[in-house]
A and B are shown apart, each in its own frame.
Chain A
Amino acid sequence: MRTKAIIRLLFTVSVVFWLALVLIDVSIVFSASNNLHSGLPSWLPNVVLDLFILALFFYYRLKFDRDDVLNFVDLLWRVFATGLVATVVSLVLKLIEYLLGSTRLTTDVVFVDLIYLINLGLMVGFLTMAFTAWKRLILYQKSKWLLRLWNFFEWTLLLSLLYNAFDFPFVEGLFWSMLSFFVVIGLVLSANMKWVAYLNFRQKWTSLLLLLLTIFYLLYISFTNSSIVEVLSGMTPEFTNYRFHVFILSLMTFVTVYSIFSFLVILFNLPTTSVFEQKLEEVVNFQRISQSIQTEQNEDSVYNILLETSVSTVFADAAWLEVKSGNPNAKLFTYKITERESQDIINHLKAKNVKGILDQGSDKTKNLSKHLATLKGCRFRSILAFPIYVKGENIGTLALLKELAEGFNREMTKIVSTFANQAGISIENFRLMEEALQNERYKEELKIAKMVQKSLLPEVLEKDSDFEIAAFSESADEVGGDYYDTLRTNDHRVSLIVADVSGKGTTAAFHMSQMKGIFHSLAQDCIKPDEFMCRANQALVYCLERGSFISATFFTINTHTKTVHYARAGHCPLLYYNASREKAEYFKDKGIALGMVKNRSYSNFIEANEFEYKSGDIMVLYTDGVTESKNDKGEQFGYDRLADILVEIHDLNPGEIQDHLMKRLYEFSGTTNINDDYTTMIVKFT
């Protein structure tokens, strides 16, 4: 906002100074022509003119600084528009003069002076505007040296205003040397035309037109002004003559010279524009291929982009891309050629036994044009083929065709081969990213499965005055399928289950939830353990996929009779501590895992057992993760170690036994980073 206000202020100030100049100059001229003494010092009009120039100079400078994004054509357009306005106003003045005819007014010195001052103002405005615009063009892609030279030029020019401001005695030598000094610097600066290269063909034409008109305006305005000055100087010597103004003259020369230079440079650049544009397009195409990996949805679009960009870069008449990734039938992407036609060419080259790129056996770019000549009815005369590599594996061939013989040059070969390489990298990246995404998805899935698994395990276990239960389950990074649960069926009966679902991951969690459903529905009605297993097997046979099974042990504790009924279906044998005998032993009953036998003969493979418990007896239920846990020597934790530990710590309560067991297990494996699921359920009778 502040700069905007300053810009407005500067404009107003410059207008005010111009009006002041008009007043002062007219009054001087009027006084002189009427032989009166105006009383104004002779240097005043010059100072006011300089102030006017200064205000205008900074006005344009700030105005241009504000528009950062101005492009070249817009810049030229502005200069042109300003010139147009100045010229039109000047022409209107001329028209008025013409319409008035040679009356007294038109020959009146004051009137002529007024016209002159208006023209002068317009010219100075146009010149400063053009100067500021050219500054922008020259300093595009500036170097330190260039910037220094420019600043020197600008500041010495402004300093020259001082020379004009005070009525120094006119020294011809000084005047001309200053002028020629500025002209020389201006010429040196005019050599900076880098911006021209960045115009495209259309923009160049527009610029040429705009510059031509700008040059015309410049010439017209300087001609008009000098002719008015001629007339005026014939009438009176006492007016502000710009022809001795170093600043204005230097500016005029510089602006005109730069305009003409630009015009010529653009004109001579026109024929080579297409080359530059092509190079630019190559860069853009290259970027497109590299970026395609981030934006495109699939490999196909990468292939399509490769095809398009290659064709447009080398001006091929047709092209195809043969991709042999995975599937036996190569996929063909074509551009301006039918699949049949390209297949014909491929077959022809094969038939000719051309050992080249097309059979994907070679890894060098090949120009196979000479072989095309022998193919009848083929409209193409040049062919160039490139291999595409992904992870060192040749996944396809890019073939470019031209109807012209010898249509490809070395340069094109290089460019397209870079494209092909880049496309290979893009596809490789693309595949890697896809893999990473897939992994991420699996991880997410696993997280959910783990949550499900956790939620399936009971938070609170049954309690009884006869026994106390502690249970614990910890799974490795992957989701395991360990399950335990308790259910009270009536005031003196409680059912327990420990199960291990084969396999890991989501399916394991899924089967675990099935097992939970089965347990909670079957255990409700005081079912016998072997009956439980038979019916669970029957239910699971149709749910488990090939090769999956569930091992389980099911118990019912009867606190009236102080007996435990149980059945073991392929699960790790129960470890039982007998308090009266002070011994721990495994109950290795017969029984195969659930889901292994698909027919009703399962009942033959399962048996139910029972035992009486006494106070101090301990049941340790666990999954194979515990006994199969290995130490760094590859030894298993094993059954004996487990039993020994139990004997050692049989006095502790279930929770403590469990903690101690886990501690020993971690000590044994030497790491807390478990690679299987550890699950224990400890029941201590009281």
Chain B
Amino acid sequence: MIHIKRLQEDGVDIIALIGEIDASSSIELDLAIAKSVGEGFSKILVDCNSLEYISSAGLGVFMSYIEEFKDQNIKMVLFGMNENVANTFEILGLNELLKIGKDKAQAKSMVNEL
């Protein structure tokens, strides 16, 4: 089960993920990101502070946006992952394809730098 909250700060869309992302709840994640893009945000932060678990399907959602974001010049930074979740990203090698910050402040500066 996943609960997704969105809030906007200084033109940056922050998507907070609360709970676990598995095969079925990954659809909600996909929808949330698609909605943010649809609303015209070019700077997206994903708050993973309360993300307890992410399955390969959830990682697939992030992965699927990589090319698209590159083409449309949309920046996305993930931050606040716990060790487990970070490990999952690392094993798959997604940490090399995605921008991952330590906390919100770092993520914000990353998203503005890029």
Contacts and interface: CB of A to CB of B under 8 A. Distances in A.
Interface of A: 500, 502-504, 546-549, 551, 569-573, 588, 590-593, 596-598, 605, 624, 628, 636
A266 to B, nearest CB: 69
Main secondary structure of the interface of A (DSSP, over half): loop
Given A596-B92, A596-B93, 20 more contacts: A503-B23, A503-B56, A503-B57, A503-B60, A504-B23, A547-B30, A547-B61, A549-B56, A549-B63, A549-B92, A572-B91, A588-B90, A592-B93, A593-B93, A596-B66, A597-B97, A605-B93, A624-B56, A624-B88, A636-B84
20 contacts: A503-B23, A503-B56, A503-B57, A503-B60, A547-B60, A547-B64, A549-B59, A549-B60, A549-B63, A551-B91, A551-B92, A572-B91, A591-B93, A592-B93, A596-B93, A597-B97, A605-B96, A605-B97, A624-B56, A636-B84
A596 B23 contact: no
A-B residue pairs, 5 tightest by C-beta = A592-B93, A547-B60, A547-B64, A570-B92, A502-B56
Nearest to A478: B23
Contact of B92 (A547, A593, A598, A628): A593
A591 B97 CA distance: 11
A211 to B, nearest CB: 74
A598 B93 contact: no
Interface of B: 23, 30, 53, 56-57, 59-61, 63-64, 66-67, 84, 88, 90-94, 96-97
Contacts of B90: 588
Contacts of B94: 570, 592-593, 596
A592 B91 CA distance: 8
Contacts, number: 62
B61 A570 contact: no
A597 B63 CA distance: 9
B23 A592 contact: no
B93 A546 contact: no
Contacts of A572: 91
Among A503, A547, A590, A598, the most chain B Cβ lie within 10 Å of the Cβ of A547
Contacts of A570: 91-94
A597 B97 CA distance: 8
Contacts of A596: 63, 66, 92-94, 97
Contacts of B53: 628
A592 B84 contact: no
B72 to A, nearest CB: 15
Given A504-B23, A624-B56, A636-B84, A571 B63 contact: no
Main secondary structure of the interface of B (DSSP, over half): helix
Contacts of A546: 64
Contacts of B57: 502-503, 547
Nearest to B95: A592
A535 to B, nearest CB: 17
A518 to B, nearest CB: 19
A507 to B, nearest CB: 11
A592 B62 CA distance: 14
A590 B63 CA distance: 17
B83 to A, nearest CB: 11
Contacts of A573: 91
Contacts of B97: 592, 596-597, 605
Nearest to B60: A547
A628 B57 CA distance: 14
Contacts of A591: 93
A61 B86 CA distance: 94
Nearest to A599: B67
A285 to B, nearest CB: 44
Nearest to B93: A592
Nearest to B53: A628
A590 B93 contact: yes
A84 to B, nearest CB: 80
Contacts of B63: 547, 549, 596
A592 B92 contact: yes
B23 A571 contact: no
A569 B61 CA distance: 18
Contact of A598 (B61, B67, B91): B67
Contacts of B84: 636
Nearest to B84: A636
Contacts of B60: 502-503, 547-549
Nearest to B62: A547
Nearest to A545: B64
A509 B59 CA distance: 19
B91 A571 contact: yes
B34 to A, nearest CB: 12
Nearest to A590: B93
Contacts of A590: 93, 96
A570 B53 CA distance: 17
Among B59, B63, B92, the most chain A Cβ lie within 10 Å of the Cβ of B92
Contacts of A569: 93
A152 B64 CA distance: 91
Contacts of B67: 598
Nearest to B56: A502
A593 B53 CA distance: 19
Contacts of A624: 56, 88, 91
Contact of B56 (A500, A598, A636): A500
Contacts of A605: 93, 96-97
Contacts of B64: 546-547
Contacts of B96: 590, 592, 605
A596 B66 CA distance: 9
A644 B20 CA distance: 28
A491 B96 CA distance: 38
B81 to A, nearest CB: 15
A212 to B, nearest CB: 77
Nearest to B87: A639
A532 to B, nearest CB: 16
Contacts of A588: 90
A273 B108 CA distance: 86
B43 to A, nearest CB: 22
A602 to B, nearest CB: 10
Nearest to A604: B96
Nearest to A596: B63
A571 B90 CA distance: 10
Nearest to A593: B92
Nearest to A638: B84
Nearest to B66: A596
A636 B84 CA distance: 9
Nearest to A572: B91
A678 to B, nearest CB: 15
Among A504, A546, A588, the most chain B Cβ lie within 10 Å of the Cβ of A546
